[in-house]
Amino acid sequence: MLNFIALLSAFTLAPIDASDRYLDCLVAIEEDLELGRRAAQLWAAEGGGANAQHCLAMADIAAGFSKLAAARLEEIAQRNDAGDDFVRARLYAQASEAWLEANALAAAETALAAAFEHAPGAGELHLTEAKVFAAQNRWQEVAVAVTKAEKAGFISVEAFIARGRAHLAVGNPEAAAEDVVAALSMEPTNIDALTLRGDVQRAGVAIEVSLTDQR
């Protein structure tokens, strides 16, 4: 099972109103996935609304049922109690990432398109967009998507790594090196960033970054 904290950060936690019971539900899943998922199922069956359904979707993902979670997230996005268009966009973006986990690329693209329809100006959606493009080796588009997200104020270590790999794939190791430095400055011991650094150095570009640097 994926690390639960990493899982939640990857899926943009709490696109809906995070009630105390919702947060308790997530804690229960982290402490005991099987029992936590059963509790989420019971809460949803009792009519817990969008919060219960979203917690159950997170449990589905943690349990490896990515397709089920993706479908559930899309259903939540269409509920009357899901929230405004921005919230619905985030739900569709989460569904897109769940479809990616299931290697269902066409479904991931469809969900992402729905996200942009609801909130075309939401810069954070470009982070998910970059993941969808990366899954298809559309490297130029990966770099563009990450840059759009960065300009909108949304960035992550994972995004820097994705853009770095994109730059390397299209033959621009110098630009890739800049993203490696940015990623390691945020998270000096990130394994993927360190691996990318090695790839960039093998491409002929030396990278110097202090492990004590913080972005």
Residue 185 belongs to a domain with what CATH number?
1.25.40.10
d(CA 67, CA 98): 7
Mean pLDDT of 12-18: 52
Domain assignment present for residue 191? The answer is: yes
Which phi and psi angles does 12 have, rounded to 5°?
45, 75
Domain assignment present for residue 18? The answer is: no
Domain assignment present for residue 189? The answer is: yes
Domain assignment present for residue 167? The answer is: yes
Domain assignment present for residue 101? The answer is: no
Domain that holds residue 159: 123-215
**pLDDT, position 146:** 98
Domain assignment present for residue 31? The answer is: no
| DSSP string for 55-97 | HHHHHHHHTT-HHHHHHHHHHHHTSTTS-SHHHHHHHHHHHHH
- The answer to whether residue 15 scores a pLDDT higher than 70 is no
pLDDT tens-digit profile of 120-130?
A: 999 999 999 99
Domain assignment present for residue 156? The answer is: yes
Burial code (b: 16+ CB inside 10 Å, e: under 16) for 171-186 equals ebbebbbbbbbbbbbb
Domain assignment present for residue 199? The answer is: yes
Which phi and psi angles does 111 have, rounded to 5°?
-65, -40
Question: Using an 8 Å Cβ cutoff, are 60 and 66 in contact?
Answer: yes
pLDDT tens-digit profile of 76-96?
A: 999 988 888 998 999 999 999
The domain total for the chain is 1
d(CA 213, CA 215): 7
Confidence of residue 112 (pLDDT cuts 50, 70, 90): very high
